[in-house]
Amino acid sequence: MRVSVTGAESWSSPGRATRLVHAAGTHPGRVRSVNEDSSLVAPPVFLVADGMGGYARGDVASRLVVESFESLASLHEVQPADVEAAIATAQHRVASLAAEFSSAPGSTLVTAAYVLEDGRGYWLLANIGDSRAYTYAEGVLEQISTDHSVVQELIDAGRLTRDQALGHPERHVVTRAIGALTRSEADFALVPAEPGSRLLLCSDGLTSELSDTAILHILSEGRSPDLTVHTLVDAAVAAGGHDNVTVVLVDVVADGPGGPVAPASEDTEPCPRGVG
């Protein structure tokens, strides 16, 4: 099966001379017969959801997550409270599937909304589970999200290295999920979205097959978002494709008269939950 890629398309930010050029791609991989991943590209909102449950309809769970966020695309300005409300809706809708199946389906979530604060562009990020968000700027790849997984807890405790985690038998076991696990709160962050930077959202089907070094190399080639997405997904499938692979990539481009602006160096800022 070929990689399914949509994009590259462009969206202009109201009130700022900035364009978001974006693309998304997915592949079921070499092992799975059903693609349980879903994605949303509805500027200013972008999302990847990785369904869990197999015959318990993980594909339905991830699609319900996407549908819960679709209304945010119509908002003039997205606030943390809007994202929280969408997450709550997704939790309720996915949890309701448990009555239909012997085991409760679930889904991960990683989402980013482009917002303006004091005239500057930021990514308002939220994640539950082990789908990831990265930023790439000036040759540096940074993982913004934190995996909610058993292996991440072992890494944090100093009992496992990142290299050992790649082959750990419980590397796919998450500690937070939408629907399948109760009290799964999202982590939030506010990250500068500077012109010249790239935002990558992906399911663990990408990061289970490709190291951060390999991802960095592909992103640094400077290809268009659609070609970059195709290359990332292809590489993950070629490396084994043991899981569904989904990638959303967004380039932040300056439209001002001065041309492209180099991304500023600034650390991630924590965003308190519920702060508008």
Domains contained in the chain, CATH given: 4-270 (3.60.40.10)
High-pLDDT (> 90) share of the chain, %: 61
Mean pLDDT, residues 25-34: 93
Whether the per-residue pLDDT at 11 is higher than 60: the answer is yes
Inform me whether the pLDDT recorded for 180 exceeds 70. no
How large is the average pLDDT for residues 206-228? 95
* pLDDT of 196 strictly over 60: yes
Contact residues for 198 (Cβ-Cβ < 8 A; gap 6+) = 135, 136, 137, 219, 225, 249, 250, 251, 252
